[in-house]
Copies of this chain bind each other. A is one copy, B any other.
């Protein structure tokens, strides 16, 4: 049996019943994205992810990456996988045909990307970051840079990286010290960056580094950071590769997981670079890339959860232990109530997270392509609000789901060769990179809620209320959801009414606010799907629709109640979080 099979029906239900793919397909500009074409693309991606990429996952983890004299050496099989990815045009789906893209909705690239990440999270980071680099350059770079770099990045011939973090400057980018000196038509970039994912490799003939650095006259702090494009190999006027730039990996990190993804310390030593966007506006340029990368990381949470679930399900169906209730014979452990609870927790969280992620990504398409300017603005705000929820909640649930995946395997789960532990190890980076979940939570309560006086959140609450009011088949679940929505509303009001008088409040409640929002919106997305599934089941004998309804009922009974705890914790405010003096935290009295 294959290691991984894309959950195509659930993906399509999320695309069409939640994320409005059908509305996008109806737009003239997306006339190529017909339902048949979407199906065909998903089917082919499913084949590639199952037959080509997934088989390299475990061996990649075991082989890991090394730094050799000519740079980073990654697992041999990754070259062939990358080549098939590039040749299949998979890196170009959603990009502008002017630069060689296929002009499909961004939303369509999302399930495809989910499959790559499920198949091999380490490998998948390379395309994920390259797509971020394309978006960043597309929106910010000069036409000249775009003409030179975008076609090769979009075709997959070249890869892209993000170079933000420096030693001592993690979440706090104001500390960036890398320097950029102007010289002729370019700049010379000097400094060290750490934690650079796929910072070097030989999967592609060139690598395009996007690097934050300071110009000589730059003001201190985040308003003095500029963005530069630094190619691994310089590019000649005719587009051919020139000499090697002075930019490369100094060392690799020895990590808990994603062993096959090289995490590099990068050295820029008077490297030739080109300014992207305006001087001192680098952070704004990078934010485009970061926001989409955050959705991408949330999607990785969905991906690794799906993979962990599939593995645990196979085991639970094959592993024979003592008789379950109602039986006298030994049988597979899936018949035991607590194992079913674990499997259904994994399944329902993964499906809720998928629908939420797709929904947020869909909003980005409408933010760009909706005819009405006001709608575009609303969709932009909606996507901005959902982004930290997707990044934060979907990666938090990935911790739980991959840990349950280990647990279902019992003692075998702790043995590396079983493979369940790899998903658990790999998943652990997701709440950390692209802005820790603490940063996401602060973004949610601050920039995304207090800064717009709760407008976007209020609009989302109204959307949920509309679903509740329109529920035809599951009015009992709708009533439960209403309780969750009310709790979210109370939390919103507590935040908006309290944050000026108590400056500690947002930081103190942020994490629980994010978890409350994720738990409730996840339930909402499932309810929308269950309503659609019930309707579709009436004209189909496909039991996928029945399973969706059962999974939703499980979520409402066994997952949604978590909102009660989050709500009460938020309601307790900042008092007990701020009262213990710093010097009294010690436990070694």
Q: Which residues of B contact A313 (CB under 8 A)?
A: 585-587
> Which of B172, B340, B543 meets A578, CB within 8 Å?
B340
Inter-chain contact B580/A550, CB cutoff 8 Å: yes
Which of A3-11, A76-84, A99-107, A281-289 lines the interface with chain B?
Answer: A3-11
Q: Is the CB of B574 within 8 A of A564?
A: no
Residues 103-151 of A contacting B (Cβ, < 8 Å): none
**A406–B427 alpha-carbon span in the complex (Å):** 12
Interface status of A219 (Cβ within 8 A of chain B): no
Contact among B171, B436, B554 for A576, CB-based, below 8 A: B554
Q: Is the CB of B582 within 8 A of A554?
A: no
A198 at the interface (CB under 8 A from B): no
Binary contact track A323-355/B, C-beta < 8 Å → 1, others 0: 001100010001111111111100100110000
A538-589 interface with B by 8 A CB criterion:
542-544, 546-547, 550-551, 553-554, 556-558, 561-565, 568-569, 572, 574-589
On whether A336 and B421 interact (CB within 8 A), knowing A344-B577, A554-B580, A580-B550, the answer reads no
- Indicate if A403 sits at the interface (CB-CB under 8 A): yes
Q: Which of A168, A424, A575, A584 has most B Cβ within 10 Å?
A: A584
Stretch of A17-25, A412-420, A448-456 contacting B (4+ beta carbons < 8 Å): A412-420
A10 CB contact (under 8 Å) in B338, B436, B437, B589: B589
Known: A407-B436, A507-B325. A565 touches B561 (CB 8 A): yes
CB distance from A129 to the nearest CB of B (A): 16
Q: Kindly identify which residue among B338, B413, B543, B561 contacts A432, using a CB–CB cutoff of 8 Å.
A: B413
- Say yes or no for A165: interface residue by CB 8 A criterion: yes
Point out the residues of chain B lying under 8 angstroms from A343, CB to CB.
585
Partner of A431, one of B309, B326, B407, B587: B407
A501 smallest CB distance to B (angstroms): 13
Q: Is the CB of A587 within 8 A of B344?
A: no
Q: Is A433 an interface residue (CB 8 A)?
A: yes
A431 to B342, CA, bound (A): 14
* Docked complex Cα distance between A411 and B168 (Å): 11
A574: contacting residue among B337, B403, B568, CB under 8 A: B337
Q: Which of A34-42, A254-262, A371-379 contacts B (4 or more CB under 8 A)?
A: A254-262
Q: Quick check: is A88 within 8 A (CB to CB) of the other chain? A: no
Tell whether A320 is near chain B: CB-to-CB under 8 Å.
yes
A321 at the interface (CB under 8 A from B): yes
- State whether A414 touches B257 (Cβ < 8 A): yes
| Assembled-state Cα–Cα distance A174/B321 (Å) | 9
A338 touches B438 (CB 8 A): yes
Known: A322-B172, A322-B174, A554-B576. A254 touches B569 (CB 8 A): no
- Per the bound structure, the CA–CA distance linking A317 and B576 in Å amounts to 19
Q: Chain B's nearest CB lies how many Å from the CB of A309?
A: 6
Is A485 at the interface (CB under 8 A from chain B)? no
- Chain B residue at minimal CB-CB distance from A421: B256
Q: Quick check: B441 and A322 within 8 Å, CB to CB?
A: no
In the complex, which residues of chain B have a beta carbon less than 8 angstroms from the beta carbon of A363? none
- Asked if A391 is at the interface (CB within 8 A of a chain B CB), the reply is no
A343 to B508, CA, bound (A): 12
In the complex, residue of chain B having the shortest beta-carbon distance to the beta carbon of A431: B407
Asked if B256 and A580 make an inter-chain contact with CB atoms under 8 angstroms apart, the answer reads: no
Q: CB distance B550 to A507 under 8 Å? A: no
Q: Are B503 and A325 in contact (CB under 8 A)?
A: yes
**Alpha-carbon distance between A170 and B413 when the two chains are bound, in angstroms:** 12
Give chain A interface residues in 373-426, CB to chain B under 8 Å.
399, 403, 406-407, 410-417, 421, 424-425
Are A254 and B416 within 8 A (Cβ)? yes
Task: Give 6 closest A-B pairs by Cβ, nearest first.
Answer: A337-B507, A5-B588, A561-B568, A564-B564, A557-B572, A9-B589
Residues of A at the B interface (CB closer than 8 Å) are: 5-10, 165, 168, 170-172, 174-175, 194-195, 253-257, 306, 309-310, 313, 317, 320-322, 325-326, 330, 334-344, 347, 350-351, 399, 403, 406-407, 410-417, 421, 424-425, 428-429, 431-433, 436-438, 441-442, 503-504, 506-508, 510-512, 542-544, 546-547, 550-551, 553-554, 556-558, 561-565, 568-569, 572, 574-589
Write 21 A-B pairs (CB below 8 A) sorted by A numbering: A165-B411, A175-B330, A194-B411, A254-B417, A255-B414, A256-B414, A310-B588, A336-B438, A337-B510, A338-B508, A344-B577, A403-B428, A407-B438, A410-B436, A414-B428, A544-B584, A546-B584, A554-B576, A557-B569, A557-B575, A557-B576
Beyond A6-B588, A256-B421, A554-B579, 12 additional contacts (C-beta under 8 Å) are A170-B321, A255-B414, A256-B415, A317-B582, A340-B578, A341-B577, A425-B425, A557-B569, A557-B575, A558-B572, A561-B568, A564-B568
